[in-house]
A = this chain, B = another copy of it.
Amino acid sequence: MSEEKENIQFQLTDELIEKVEQLIEANNGKELQQFLSEFHYADIAEILDELDQDEAVYVIKLLDSETTSDILMELDEDIREKVLQNLSAKEIADEIQELDTDDAADMISELPEERKEEVISNIEDAEHKAEIEELLAYDEDSAGGLMAKELVKVYETWTVAGCMRRIRGQAKDVTRVHSIYVVDKQDKLIGRLSLKDLITAKSEQKIAEISNSNVDSVNVHDDVEDVAKVMQKYDLEAIPVLDDNHILVGRITIDDIVDVMKEEADKDYQLAAGITQGVEADDSIIDLTKARLPWLFLGLLGGIGAFIIMEGFQEAFNTYAVLFFFTPLIAAMAGNVGVQSSAIIVQGLANDDVKGSVNGRLIKEMLLAALNGAILAVFLFLFVWLYIGEMDKALAISVSLVAVIIIAGLIGTFVPLFLDKRGIDPAIATGPFITTSNDILGILLYFWIAKMILGI
């Protein structure tokens, strides 16, 4: 806490980056070391993200591994990959030695297959190595893939005083002690304690007397998204992870869950916008094209489909050209309604808010779409009638609009529910997928109904 800390956030300025670059160019390691020592490792990672590869490697080799291991974990994934390419297996193993087991396993899993073994064999601490190898065996989307081995564990038969002594030893390896887990002789989890409980207890009390047997836990094979939901719902800051025999094997902390939630939200947002997950504004044009082009191609095919449908109705064009001028309106409304209804369902599914039957949902969406459609259709009817002065056309267009909106709403509701039941991420249903199918279907329906009403 000092007076100059007025800004809530560290500001990454061009001057700052320039200063670092100058010190690197001048090969002034000592001053650079001193200069960077004032920054948090997460801030240094932001600086490194802006440097070129050689400069970043220079900084990593310059600072001590206690700091650089944390910096490496905070770097952009593609920058980290490049920096690690420039470090020897021994150097990477030294960084890993400084990391908690969960971060260590993450870093190793990003390495190319052939380097993994080499790095692991260079880890000196045998226990750390064994724990990392254990974590690497779990699916990365499972609780086991997210958990750390570092935790504070006590036996129910210990006294508070004995427990305090042992904790003083164990706690050194654990960055943050949220809960102390109480286990029986077989290492099965039977309760938990907070440090607060321990501090406020009498030193001769037995752990069993003060521990809380009501402890939430997850299985090592549980999906991380489910773990996130549990921790969020019950406001937990750490949760113990058990194997199938209820033996305590690790713990997951809220900071990792925050990252999972952020990634999940970003992914869903991108999918809804027609972008394959995981790109950032600063990625290369090639990467961005890979993420965007497939969805645009889908839209193009949809547009070609719309063309073929309209061409099929071409004969009507000569006397009813005006109908064709409303196809963008029909397509836009079908798309918008579909995206709205699918977004509500996708979000409801993610938040476990969608209860009750599929039929109930569809009936509700039908009523909703009918209401919205009717209001919009009245407006459109009046506009067309007043503007072109032909009531039959106005009626045909407006009635079609209502039908299109209802069908679009139903598709938008049904598709994500269907995908979810099939075990497919419903988030892909919002965005170009639903827009494109609704565009085509909407236009087809529009011409059918208009043709019927106008008796063409």
- The stretch of A54-62, A78-86, A114-122, A288-296 in contact with B is A288-296
Quick check: A367 and B336 within 8 Å, CB to CB? Answer: no
* Highest count of chain B CB atoms <10 Å: which of A3, A218, A262, A443: A262
* Protomer copies: 2
- In the complex, per-residue mask of A43-78: 1 if CB is within 8 Å of any chain B CB, else 0: 000000010000000000000000000000000000
- A335 sits at the interface (CB 8 A): yes
The complex places the Cα of A355 from the Cα of B281 at a distance, in Å, of: 9
| B residues in contact with A110, CB < 8 Å | none
Quick check: A344 and B275 within 8 Å, CB to CB? Answer: yes
Interface residue ranges of A302-359 to B (CB < 8 Å): 302-304, 306-307, 310-311, 314, 317, 321-322, 324-333, 335-337, 339-340, 342-345, 347-348, 351-355
The complex places the Cα of A361 from the Cα of B8 at a distance, in Å, of: 26
Quick check: A1 and B217 within 8 Å, CB to CB? Answer: yes
| B residues in contact with A419, CB < 8 Å | none
Quick check: B8 and A218 within 8 Å, CB to CB? Answer: yes
Quick check: A324 and B304 within 8 Å, CB to CB? Answer: no
Cβ 8 A contact of A383, one of B200, B217, B304: B304
Cβ 8 A contact of A343, one of B5, B189, B275: B275
> How many residues of chain A have a CB within 8 Å of chain B?
129
- A255 sits at the interface (CB 8 A): yes
- The stretch of A18-26, A27-35, A368-376 in contact with B is A368-376
Cβ 8 A contact of A336, one of B219, B222, B227, B432: B432
Task: Tell me the minimal C-beta distance from A269 to chain B in angstroms.
Answer: 6
Quick check: A329 and B307 within 8 Å, CB to CB? Answer: yes
Cβ 8 A contact of A300, one of B12, B296, B333: B333
When C-beta atoms are compared, the residue in chain B nearest to A177 turns out to be: B196
| B residues in contact with A12, CB < 8 Å | 355
Quick check: B325 and A230 within 8 Å, CB to CB? Answer: no
| B residues in contact with A361, CB < 8 Å | 281
| B residues in contact with A148, CB < 8 Å | none
- A237 sits at the interface (CB 8 A): yes
| B residues in contact with A281, CB < 8 Å | 344-345, 347-348, 353-354, 361
Nearest 4 Cβ contacts at the A-B interface: A303-B329, A273-B343, A281-B348, A265-B265
Quick check: A317 and B310 within 8 Å, CB to CB? Answer: no
Interface residue ranges of A98-134 to B (CB < 8 Å): none
- A205 sits at the interface (CB 8 A): no
- A282 sits at the interface (CB 8 A): yes
Q: A274-B340, A295-B340 are in contact. List 17 more A-B contacts (CB 8 A).
A: A1-B189, A1-B246, A8-B227, A199-B199, A254-B254, A254-B255, A269-B272, A269-B343, A273-B340, A293-B375, A296-B337, A296-B376, A300-B380, A302-B332, A304-B380, A311-B322, A327-B327
The complex places the Cα of A302 from the Cα of B380 at a distance, in Å, of: 12
